[in-house]
């Protein structure tokens, strides 16, 4: 039986198009949830399997490492062999890897499953985005669909801890993996019938050397950034990995710019609106990644909530983004894509500023206001995606999707590493005065984290240490709010300058 590939976008009925969006969004929801659901499950995994500290780090990190490394080559494969084929293969692989957790009883096995999930996730994430370009040929409909896609991605990351918390209260930690299986089965069956196939008419020659360089470079870059955040900037191994990343990625970029048919067309960045969309995605995830991590710690250690309660307390951001993102493209049609993109980033900057300016003692009501502003402003990402796709030819949609998803991954990793390190440094510096005369080992543990300081304060019966550590952490959180606000404001200015006033995301540029 032969397979027919479309080399032009397919015309499908309205009902089938929106049903296809539901399939693509549901699968993206699972991938996004998997990025955060393990944060809740890790303590239970640690109790059952007793992984070492290094193994715990790999259990968490290997998923994002593999995704980051494979986004570009997998997108190239999808353009060559068919986006639907690669997407369905990703569904099958993700469901199978999730089911394989039942066979695992060692930390190494969990790491292997997470690696397989990362590989499958790399097949799904950018392909869902590029498939929207295939399914929705009308620019106005596509802008709305991209709004839904962006909100689903954000909601998935936000509800991951909530779903994980609910499952762990009633079932074993394996349920955090098994929940993926029925959803992937449904996506596979529905996608088989609803999604059209598409492949690039003249795909570039397969570039083995470029593929290896991109994978090694991206994995080394993400790994080095994560370890700088954990070990500090004096760690020689992290610097070695970072140097390798610069060498491999530098060579890959040069190769792509010089080849007539590159695996990744970096000349897309010559289009200012495309660059603006990428900058918006990168800056948003840079600021949000670190802040959400710090706020989650504040909710548990300072505000005294359980992991599940903390997850629920973070939902205002997801709800706001879930409501605003589908509406943002329509608003862009009225007042212009430039105004909505830069305005959304400015609103997110205001959300960060609320945390910085909130009166002491910091209360949840101020956090909730900030989360709503962050979620509402984050709807700019929907417009950013629409700008990226409207400014990109169909045959380059896979490249554009890979670059956008890479900016999400890198932004989140950089935010946690850089802003997390800034917050950690501010916390440790302010806490030093309260550690005078303390055992050096305990003092170092207290400097490393608020959780460590509170644990030592409990052991020693030192309410003074607990109070100082809490105050130092809140100050570091508010300082991060200032840095995040300035970052988002800078991104808003860049977007305003790069996006033409007349750009309409409801009209196809190419």
Q: What is the pLDDT of residues 483-507, one digit of tens each?
A: 888 988 998 999 899 988 887 776 6
Average pLDDT score, the chain: 80
Q: Which of 182, 204, 226 is the last residue of a domain?
A: 204
Residues 293 and 153 in one domain: no
Q: Could you tell me if 182 and 232 lie in one domain?
A: no
Mean pLDDT of 387-403: 74
Is 199 in the same domain as 104? yes
The reported pLDDT for the residue numbered 7 is: 45
Domain end call among 242, 262, 282: 262
162 plus 91 within the same structural domain: yes
Query: What is the per-residue pLDDT for 2?
Result: 37
Residues 355 and 428 in one domain: yes
Q: Of 204, 221, 248, at which residue does a domain stop?
A: 204
Question: Could you tell me which residues come within 8 angstroms of residue 124 by beta carbon, excluding any fewer than 6 positions away?
Answer: 27, 28, 31, 87, 90, 91, 94
Confidence of residue 120 (pLDDT cuts 50, 70, 90): very high
* 387 shares a domain with 250: no
Question: Which pLDDT score, from 0 to 100, does residue 350 have?
Answer: 93
Residue 224 and residue 95 in one domain: no
Full domain range(s) for residue 211: 207-262
State residue 369's pLDDT score.
93
pLDDT confidence bin for 5, thresholds 50/70/90 = very low
Burial (Cβ within 10 Å: 0-12, 13-18, ≥19) of residue 165: buried
Secondary structure tally for the chain: helices H, strands E:
21, 0
At 94 the pLDDT is 93
265, HSE (Cβ side, Cα atoms, 13 Å): 22
Mean pLDDT of 202-225: 82
Q: Say yes or no: 216 and 197 in one domain.
A: no
- Of 151-160, 201-210, 424-433, which has the strongest mean pLDDT? 201-210
Contact residues for 412 (Cβ-Cβ < 8 A; gap 6+): 64, 285, 286, 288, 289
* 105, burial (CB in 10 Å: exposed 0-12, middle 13-18, buried 19+): exposed
**CA distances (Å), origin 347, targets 8, 27, 365, 388, 455:** 38, 29, 18, 21, 37
Q: 3-state secondary structure string, 463-492?
A: HHHHHHHHHHHHHHHHHHHHHHHHHHHHHH
Secondary structure (H, E, C), 3-60: CCCCCCCCCCCHHHHHHHHHHHHHHHHHHHHHHHCHHHHHHHHHHHHCCCHHHHHHHH
Between 188 and 157, where is the model more confident? Answer: 188
- Looking at residue 183, what is its pLDDT? 87
Query: How confident is the model over 280-299, as a mean pLDDT?
Result: 78
User: What pLDDT, in 10s, does the model give residues 52-84?
Assistant: 767 777 787 788 788 888 888 888 888 788 888
Across 238-268, b (16+ Cβ under 10 Å) vs e yields: beebbebbeebbeebbebbeeeeebbbbeeb
Predicted confidence band at 1 (pLDDT cuts at 50, 70, 90)?
Answer: very low
What's the pLDDT at 506? 62
Instruction: Tell me the percentage of the chain whose pLDDT exceeds 90.
Output: 12
Contacts of 389 (CB under 8 A, 6+ apart): 129, 132, 133, 142, 146, 397, 400
Do both 111 and 165 map to the same domain? yes
CATH assignment at residue 409? 1.20.1250.20
Whether 510 has a pLDDT exceeding 70, the answer reads: no
217 and 194 fall within a common domain: no
How many structural domains are present in the chain?
3
235-274: per-residue pLDDT in tens?
888 899 999 999 999 998 888 888 888 877 888 888 888 8
Average pLDDT over residues 107-120: 90
Do the Cβ atoms of 137 and 11 come closer than 8 Å?
A: yes
Same domain, 75 and 136: yes
pLDDT band at 436 (very low <50, low <70, confident <90, very high): low
Let me know whether 256 and 404 are in one domain: no
Secondary structure (3-state) at 439? coil
């Amino acid at each position: 039986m032969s397979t027919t590939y479309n080399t032009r976008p397919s015309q499908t009925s309205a009902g089938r198009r929106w049903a296809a969006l539901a399939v693509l969004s549901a699968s993206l929801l699972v991938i996004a949830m998997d990025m955060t659901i393990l944060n809740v499950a890790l303590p239970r995994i640690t109790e059952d399997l007793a992984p070492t500290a290094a193994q715990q780090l790999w259990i968490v990190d290997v998923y994002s490492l593999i995704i980051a490394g494979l986004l570009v080559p997998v997108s190239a494969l999808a353009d060559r062999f068919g986006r639907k084929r690669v997407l369905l293969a990703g569904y099958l692989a993700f469901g199978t890897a999730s089911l394989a957790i039942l066979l695992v009883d060692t930390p190494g096995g969990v790491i292997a499953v997470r690696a397989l999930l990362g590989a499958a996730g790399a097949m799904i994430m950018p392909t869902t985005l590029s498939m929207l370009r295939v399914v929705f040929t009308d620019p106005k409909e596509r802008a709305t669909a991209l709004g839904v896609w962006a909100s689903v991605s954000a909601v998935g990351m936000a509800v991951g801890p909530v779903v994980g918390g609910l499952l762990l209260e009633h079932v074993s930690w394996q349920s955090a993996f098994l929940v993926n299986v029925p959803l992937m089965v449904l996506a596979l069956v529905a996608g088989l019938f609803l999604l059209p196939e598409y492949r690039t008419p003249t795909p570039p020659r397969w570039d083995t050397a470029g593929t290896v360089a991109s994978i090694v470079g991206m994995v080394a870059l993400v790994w080095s950034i994560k370890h700088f955040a954990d070990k500090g900037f004096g760690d020689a191994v992290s610097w070695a990995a970072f140097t390798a990343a610069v060498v491999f990625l530098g060579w890959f970029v040069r190769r792509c710019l010089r080849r007539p048919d590159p695996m990744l067309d970096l000349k897309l960045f010559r289009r200012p609106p495309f660059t603006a969309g990428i900058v918006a995605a990168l800056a948003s995830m840079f600021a949000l990644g670190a802040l959400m991590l710090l706020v989650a710690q504040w909710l548990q250690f300072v505000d005294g909530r359980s992991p599940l309660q903390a997850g629920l307390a973070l939902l205002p951001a997801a709800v706001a983004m879930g409501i605003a993102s589908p509406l943002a493209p329509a608003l862009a049609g009225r007042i212009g894509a430039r105004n909505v993109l830069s305005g959304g980033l400015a609103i997110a900057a205001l959300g960060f500023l609320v945390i910085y300016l909130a009166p002491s003692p910091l209360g949840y009501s101020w956090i909730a206001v900030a989360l709503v502003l962050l979620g509402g402003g984050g709807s700019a990402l929907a417009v950013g995606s629409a700008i990226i796709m409207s400014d990109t030819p169909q045959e380059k949609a896979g490249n554009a999707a890979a670059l956008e998803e890479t900016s999400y991954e890198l932004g989140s990793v950089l935010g946690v590493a850089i802003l997390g390190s800034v917050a950690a440094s501010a916390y440790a510096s302010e806490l030093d005065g309260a550690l005078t005369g303390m055992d050096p080992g305990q003092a170092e543990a207290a400097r490393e984290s608020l959780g460590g300081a509170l644990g030592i304060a409990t052991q020693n019966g030192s309410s003074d240490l607990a109070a100082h550590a809490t105050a130092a952490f809140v100050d570091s959180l508010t300082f991060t709010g200032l840095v995040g606000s300035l970052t988002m404001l800078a991104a808003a200015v860049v977007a305003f300058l790069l996006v033409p006033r007349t750009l309409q995301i409801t009209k196809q540029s190419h």
